[in-house]
Amino acid sequence: MAETVLEKIRSKAKTLGRKICLTESDDIRNLQAAAMLVQTGYAKPVLIGDGKAIDKLARDNGVNLLGVEIADIQGSPRFNDYMVTVVGLRKSKGLTEDQARLWLRDTCVFAAAMVCAGDAHGYVSGGGNPKGYNHDTAGKTRPALQLFRTAPGIKVASAYFIMQLPDPKWGYNGALFYADCGLNINPNADQLAEIAVTTARTYAALTGDEPRVGMISCSTKGSAKDPIVDKVIQATAKAKALAPELLIDGEFQFDAAVIPAIGAKKAPGSRIAGRCNVLIFPDLNCGNTMYKATERLAGAAAIGPLIQGLRRPFNDVSRGCSVDDIVDCAAMAAITEWTD
């Protein structure tokens, strides 16, 4: 069988040896993921938090942290340097030194500061202990948005999933890319267009394959009339204008986007109907539901959510994640290049 996109990611990560921070260090899954990252060589893991608590949790659960760096926030010799870093980045927003010192007690902020200071390549927030850090999506993501900021030419960061299906006939050796499934609740037409273009370029960079982007709706080529459909129609036109070199089309119902016979029937004039490998959903209700449905009903591996459009790598893994999910998102962060 041909190499999957996940195998490509893992192979590349092994060659880079980059440091990736894991922020939810009071959740045993992150300690197990850190140990696995050492074993696999996908990244050099750094556990952020209370050093003594991390050591105790590892001992109590029989996790070997040999080769894992532990960044103890309270005793970090770099704490003042990180304070200077975050104040410099947020000074225009009124952040003071005292506020920065308090803010840095948060493991996600500390990890983001480490990255900004060049002491790590990226960070991953996976899982969370309900009695401990337990960051929600906003708490994990906000430091990345505020300290990393969006890359040049990009106005909106977004979250995508690599959906690796058992049958290689879909997309790239079984992989379809879904967006946005984890960050933007109800993007407008301009934002949806940018998400489409960004995800297409991400797909091309990771697979080497040509992206075929389907803009998903409850309508195919005017079969329904409603403002929610109009948004997708407008976004499709805007995406084509933003990147005329890319194959982008819609609006498509899901089956018209991925099933050749249905695409040919419902959208006979389309170059990509029935053959889409990148699927852009109109809002988070749709995107989040579709990735979970594909994972649970079709037996797909859902890698993500993976954040795109930032200057530095950050991935927010679901609180229901597995250890493997954290490891794979760390590998993805390791291969994501910085943008200045």
Rounded Cα gap, residues 229 and 221, in angstroms: 10
- Please give the pLDDT value at position 2: 80
| Number of structural domains found in the chain | 2
- Tokens representing 172 are 């790239």
Rounded Cα gap, residues 63 and 276, in angstroms: 43
Alpha-carbon torsion, ordered 293, 176, 172, 263, to 10 deg: 90
Same domain, 281 and 212: yes
Mean pLDDT for the chain overall:
94
On whether residue 212 sits in a domain, the answer given is: yes
Share of the chain above pLDDT 70, in %: 97
- Pick from 59, 53, 61, 64: which is nearest to 45 by CA? 64
On whether residue 306 sits in a domain, the answer given is: no
On whether residue 171 sits in a domain, the answer given is: yes
Residue with tokens 């988070």: 284
pLDDT confidence tier of residue 130, bands split at 50, 70 and 90: low
Same domain, 129 and 16: yes
Same domain, 166 and 73: no
Rounded Cα gap, residues 304 and 294, in angstroms: 13
Same domain, 219 and 241: yes
Rounded Cα gap, residues 189 and 232, in angstroms: 7
285 within 8 A of 311, measured Cβ to Cβ: no
- C-beta neighbour count of 245 within 10 angstroms: 7
- Pick from 329, 339, 338, 340: which is nearest to 20 by CA? 329
Phi/psi for 128 (5° steps) reads 145, 135
- Tokens representing 258 are 């991925």
For residue 52, the SS3 value is helix
- Tokens representing 140 are 């994990």
Please provide the distance, in angstroms rounded to a whole number, between the alpha carbons at the two ends of the chain. Answer: 38
pLDDT confidence tier of residue 133, bands split at 50, 70 and 90: low
- Please give the pLDDT value at position 340: 83
Residue with tokens 């910085």: 338
- Please give the pLDDT value at position 337: 93
- Please give the pLDDT value at position 320: 81
Same domain, 212 and 270: yes
Residue 296 has pLDDT above 90, yes or no: yes
pLDDT per position as a tens digit, 222-235: 898 999 999 999 99
pLDDT per position as a tens digit, 16-48: 999 999 999 999 999 999 999 999 999 999 999
Tell me, what CATH number does 282's domain have?
Answer: 3.40.50.10750
On whether residue 22 sits in a domain, the answer given is: yes
Q: Is the peptide bond before 305 cis (omega within 30 degrees of 0)?
A: yes
Same domain, 60 and 139: yes
Residue with tokens 């029937």: 265
Same domain, 55 and 135: yes
Average pLDDT value for residue range 68-75 = 95
Same domain, 88 and 175: no
187 within 8 A of 281, measured Cβ to Cβ: no
- Please give the pLDDT value at position 103: 94
Alpha-carbon torsion, ordered 201, 205, 206, 208, to 10 deg: 110
For residue 162, the SS3 value is strand
Contacts of 80 by beta carbon, 8 Å cutoff, 6+ apart: none
On whether residue 255 sits in a domain, the answer given is: yes
Highest averaged pLDDT of the listed ranges 118-127, 138-147, 155-164 = 155-164
Same domain, 290 and 169: yes
Average pLDDT value for residue range 248-261 = 97
Same domain, 60 and 171: no
Share of the chain above pLDDT 90, in %: 90
On whether residue 340 sits in a domain, the answer given is: no
On whether residue 58 sits in a domain, the answer given is: yes
- Please tell me the chain's helix, strand, coil percentages from 3-state DSSP, rounded to the nearest 5: 45, 20, 35
Same domain, 66 and 99: yes
Residue 295 has pLDDT above 80, yes or no: yes
Tell me, what CATH number does 84's domain have?
Answer: 3.40.50.10950
- C-beta neighbour count of 85 within 10 angstroms: 22
On whether residue 98 sits in a domain, the answer given is: yes
Domain span including residue 323: 5-149+311-335
- C-beta neighbour count of 137 within 10 angstroms: 15
Same domain, 91 and 175: no
